[in-house]
């Protein structure tokens, strides 16, 4: 599979590169600053481009089977539109290049029917105050994705850790995993690749957690 990856310089992006390339997939990592990308692999191609410019990222998407975005704001304490704006740009480029499969990392801080009373009434309202700008951006991003005509999957992880890849985690479609408070970036990358390889779920959000 030929995959275009945005957010390659982050912890999750690095895991996607390693796992996808080791599995034999071809990954094109789109980065603003190639010096920040520490990963290298024979199956990895690096393209320097501004994700906010659909024309600039078009060559990285042309001829690929799928696009993955693991982009996010580096400071959740200030207003941001980075996820919303980058997703709008990516979707426009995908339409231009005729690529339809999109997997995007969102946030498990969004409340759904799968949350228990303590999580829904106490923990997430507290997080909502601290991360209100990030959560608002993720909500707008999800609305943009849902309004598209692409074959999309939204992946919602809880708190991320630097633990190992176990491939032993729980998941739920269009609802949160009850009690799933954390997951490793390695297992998040595992889930992303499973969504791509299995082509499932389509036009749905999948939540994961230990």
- DSSP class of residue 114? T
Q: How far, in Å, CA of 193 to CA of 206, rounded?
A: 13
pLDDT tens, 56-97? 999 999 999 999 999 998 776 788 999 999 999 999 999 999
Q: Which CATH architecture has domain 2-209?
A: 3-Layer(aba) Sandwich (3.40)
Query: Does residue 131 contact residue 139 with C-beta atoms inside 8 Å?
Result: no
With 0.75 as the threshold, say if the pTM is over it.
yes
- In this structure, of 122-126, 161-165, 197-201, the range with the lowest mean pLDDT score is 122-126
Nearest to 33 by CA among 5, 54, 8: 8
More confident residue, 169 or 122: 169
Average pLDDT of the residues in 134-154: 95
SS3 call for 197: helix
How long a stretch of residues is the chain? 210
Exposed, middle or buried, 151 (CB in 10 Å: 0-12/13-18/19+)?
A: middle
Q: How far, in Å, CA of 151 to CA of 204, rounded?
A: 9
pLDDT tens, 94-108? 999 999 999 999 986
118 has pLDDT over 60: no
Q: What is the reported pLDDT for 78?
A: 82
Whole-number average pLDDT of the chain: 91
Residue 143 banded pLDDT, cuts 50, 70, 90: very high
Q: What is the reported pLDDT for 61?
A: 98
- In this structure, of 9-23, 49-63, 113-127, the range with the lowest mean pLDDT score is 113-127
Average pLDDT of the residues in 28-51: 97
């Amino acid at each position: 599979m030929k995959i275009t990856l945005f957010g390659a310089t982050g912890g999750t992006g690095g895991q996607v590169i390693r796992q996808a390339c080791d599995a034999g997939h071809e990954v094109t990592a789109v980065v603003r600053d190639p010096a920040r990308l520490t990963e290298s692999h024979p199956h990895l191609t690096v393209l320097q481009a501004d994700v906010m410019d659909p024309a600039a990222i078009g060559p990285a998407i042309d001829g690929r089977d799928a696009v993955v975005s693991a982009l996010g704001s580096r400071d959740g304490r200030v207003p941001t539109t980075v996820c919303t704006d980058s997703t709008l740009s990516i979707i426009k480029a995908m339409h231009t290049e005729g690529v339809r499969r999109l997997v995007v990392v969102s946030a498990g801080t969004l409340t759904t029917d799968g949350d228990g009373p303590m999580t829904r009434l106490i923990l997430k309202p507290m997080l909502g105050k601290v991360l209100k700008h990030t959560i608002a951006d993720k909500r707008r991003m999800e609305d943009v994705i849902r309004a598209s005509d692409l074959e999309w999957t939204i992946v919602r992880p809880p708190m991320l850790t630097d633990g190992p890849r176990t491939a032993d985690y729980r998941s739920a479609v269009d609802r949160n995993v009850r009690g799933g408070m954390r997951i490793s970036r390695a297992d998040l990358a595992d889930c992303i690749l499973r969504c791509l390889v299995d082509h499932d779920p389509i036009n749905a959000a999948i939540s994961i957690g230990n």
